[in-house]
């Protein structure tokens, strides 16, 4: 039998060789059929067929006729509606669920597009045969009606039909890159930041022995104590809960090994990885450094790949080779948003290492993971399954991983500091409260005075130090030192003295060296648009943002005339909204709440 019309041949494989008894057992795994007797199960199995869709394959497109009703045996499916060149996700469908029944019963075309998020096995029944099944087994119609009613109720009340499970694979192509440490603490951070169920899965080949701890800081790496399970025995798996270790940590644990010569694992690894989707919101997969077919298949089947590399030429070469293979495997789905690189083992100032890494890899490096010191280790977790040293919550490594977890889960917290000249000094009081309450800020955006205060705070000055700086200018003599008048008048003050003051405070630092990511907003008067600056020299960017028209001489380039960012965008919340940040603390000293709402709605 042919696949759906218009579907590329490399996106579908027909599973003709499934024995009939196995077909019946697979049908029984589908919850809505599970209580039927053996005679009914055989009848349903004969009416349908098993189809294998590859990751990224379209099962059906919006507007296509209703030819089948689909039941998910393994894998993950997402449904979406194409809108203006983008896609609005409607529902996440995993093992045991079904779709396409409404179109089948009404005769209407499909209102959504359905795409395989993993290699997926589907049992599909032609519409005419499905209607025959309902006539022979009337009780099934009642069951389908109840489930569909609940789905419709969820959509009307905007209740989620089940959150999308996210699979993140952590891989370091060179041993010692810290992949296992990162995977563990990322999993713990996701559980802490979201309160969602999280699974940590360690996969190792049987020829790779667990390395013993070699130093005090190496004890932060998890050491698995319980004997690992054989992956070939677990694939395929009907109920993942039965093999998970629960209760020892805020995340559930699974440690497995595989034999590299087991060819069937490569075909079945997608079923194993997606098998966690009906129970866990996040699945962190810690992979060995050997890049064999099983590891490569796992990387391709994941939603996100976090690739760790050391600041060494041989590590960059290995990471670049992995990127090339992932680009071939993921094809159009390959992107820097999906495949992220992290620099492990960087020194206190990671800027030189980041630049050399990006140049060697010809790829953007997402972040540098700070080194872990002995002083960062605070406690020993020692349970029946796993042992490791815990980290101080405020140490640089832990703060970085927690920030990444918030970004990944969509719960990042952004701070927007608006303009307001002298009124902008009120920002310092807000920063003091954030420090006292230990509110984690993941990104700072500022315009005009907000850019100055936010920039100084982002590089590491405390609120107390900022207050001392502000008090320096209570004396008129201190202010006069910054007033270097310019003629002819394009602004009262040339800004050279201000620039010198900024250079002294920022000490030549760039955006990549801030403690917290920073974005500075200025305004291009020629093009009449905002300039969002997040790269280059900090002092230069903030000088642009505080160029108050008529007071400071504007910054001119070959094709730009740059003035104070607060002139047109005094509270730039739109910068964070465009970045997808949903939790925003906006400090406004000028605009009314009504004006803020209007600016937010424009985005």
Catalytic residues: 448, 564
**Is-contact 198 166, C-beta < 8 A?**
no
Give the other-Cβ count within 10 Å of 219's Cβ. Answer: 19
Which is nearest to 572 in space by CA: 556, 590, 548? Answer: 590
**Is-contact 81 111, C-beta < 8 A?**
yes
C-alpha span between 348 and 368 (Å, rounded): 10
Which is nearest to 414 in space by CA: 531, 576, 570? Answer: 576
Is residue 154 classed as helix, strand or coil in its secondary structure? Answer: helix
**Is-contact 8 54, C-beta < 8 A?**
no
Sign, CA dihedral 573-575-576-577, equals positive
Which is nearest to 68 in space by CA: 134, 146, 3? Answer: 3
C-alpha span between 374 and 538 (Å, rounded): 32
Is residue 106 classed as helix, strand or coil in its secondary structure? Answer: helix
CB contact set of 474 (below 8 Å; sequence gap of 6+): none
C-alpha span between 451 and 444 (Å, rounded): 9
* Distance, first Cα to last Cα, the chain: 49
C-alpha span between 214 and 231 (Å, rounded): 28
């Amino acid at each position: 039998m042919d696949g759906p019309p218009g579907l590329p041949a490399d996106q579908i494989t027909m599973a003709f060789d499934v024995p009939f008894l196995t077909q019946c057992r697979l049908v029984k795994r589908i919850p809505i059929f599970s209580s039927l007797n053996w005679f009914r199960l055989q009848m349903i199995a004969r009416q349908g067929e098993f189809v294998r869709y590859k990751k990224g394959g379209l099962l059906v497109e919006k507007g296509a006729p209703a030819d089948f009703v689909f039941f998910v045996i393994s894998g993950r499916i997402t449904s979406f509606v194409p809108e203006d060149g983008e896609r609005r996700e409607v529902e996440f469908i995993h093992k045991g669920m079904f779709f396409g029944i409404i179109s089948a019963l009404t005769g209407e075309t499909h209102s959504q597009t359905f795409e395989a998020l993993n290699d997926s096995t589907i049992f599909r029944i032609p519409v005419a045969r499905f209607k025959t099944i309902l006539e022979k087994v009337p009780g099934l119609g009642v069951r389908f009606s109840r489930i569909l009613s609940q789905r419709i109720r969820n959509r009307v009340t905007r209740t989620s039909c089940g959150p999308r499970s996210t699979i993140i694979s952590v891989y370091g192509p060179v041993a010692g890159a810290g992949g296992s440490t990162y995977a563990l603490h990322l999993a713990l951070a996701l559980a802490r930041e979201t309160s969602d169920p999280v699974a940590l899965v360690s996969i190792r080949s049987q020829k790779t022995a667990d390395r013993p701890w070699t130093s005090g800081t190496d004890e932060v790496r998890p050491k698995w104590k319980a004997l690992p399970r054989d992956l070939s025995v677990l694939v395929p798996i009907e109920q993942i809960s039965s093999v998970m270790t629960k209760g020892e940590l805020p995340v559930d644990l699974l440690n497995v090994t595989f034999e590299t010569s087991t060819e069937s694992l490569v075909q079945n690894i997608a079923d194993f990885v997606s098998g966690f989707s009906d129970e866990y919101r996040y699945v962190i997969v810690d992979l060995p450094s050997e890049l064999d077919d099983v590891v490569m298949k796992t990387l391709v089947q994941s939603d996100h790949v976090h690739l760790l590399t050391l600041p060494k030429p041989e590590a960059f070469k290995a990471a670049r080779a992995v990127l090339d293979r992932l680009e071939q495997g993921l094809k159009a789905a390959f992107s820097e948003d999906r495949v992220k690189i992290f620099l492990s083992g960087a020194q206190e100032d990671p800027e030189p290492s980041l630049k050399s890494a990006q140049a060697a890899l010809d790829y953007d490096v997402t972040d540098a993971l700070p080194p872990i010191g002995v002083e960062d280790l605070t406690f020993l977790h020692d349970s029946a399954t796993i042992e490791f040293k815990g980290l101080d919550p405020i140490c640089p490594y832990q703060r970085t991983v927690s920030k990444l977890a918030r970004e990944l889960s969509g719960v990042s917290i952004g701070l927007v500091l608006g303009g307001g000249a002298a009124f902008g000094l009120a920002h310092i009081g807000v920063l003091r409260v954030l420090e006292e309450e230990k509110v984690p800020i993941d990104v700072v955006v500022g315009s005009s005075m907000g850019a100055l205060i936010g920039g100084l705070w982002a590089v590491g000055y405390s609120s107390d130090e900022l207050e001392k700086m502000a008090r320096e200018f209570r004396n008129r003599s201190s202010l006069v030192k910054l007033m270097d008048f310019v003629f002819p008048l394009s602004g009262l003050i040339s800004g050279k003295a201000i620039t010198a003051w900024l250079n002294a405070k920022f000490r030549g630092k760039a955006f990549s060296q801030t403690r917290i990511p920073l974005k500075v907003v200025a305004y291009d008067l020629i093009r009449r648009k905002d300039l969002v600056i997040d790269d280059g020299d900090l002092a230069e960017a903030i000088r642009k943002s505080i160029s108050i028209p008529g007071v400071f001489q504007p910054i001119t380039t070959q094709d730009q005339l740059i003035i104070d960012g607060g002139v047109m965008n005094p509270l730039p919340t739109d910068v964070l909204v465009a970045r997808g940040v949903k939790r925003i603390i906006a400090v406004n000293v000028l605009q009314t709440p009504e004006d803020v709402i209007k600016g937010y709605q424009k985005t």
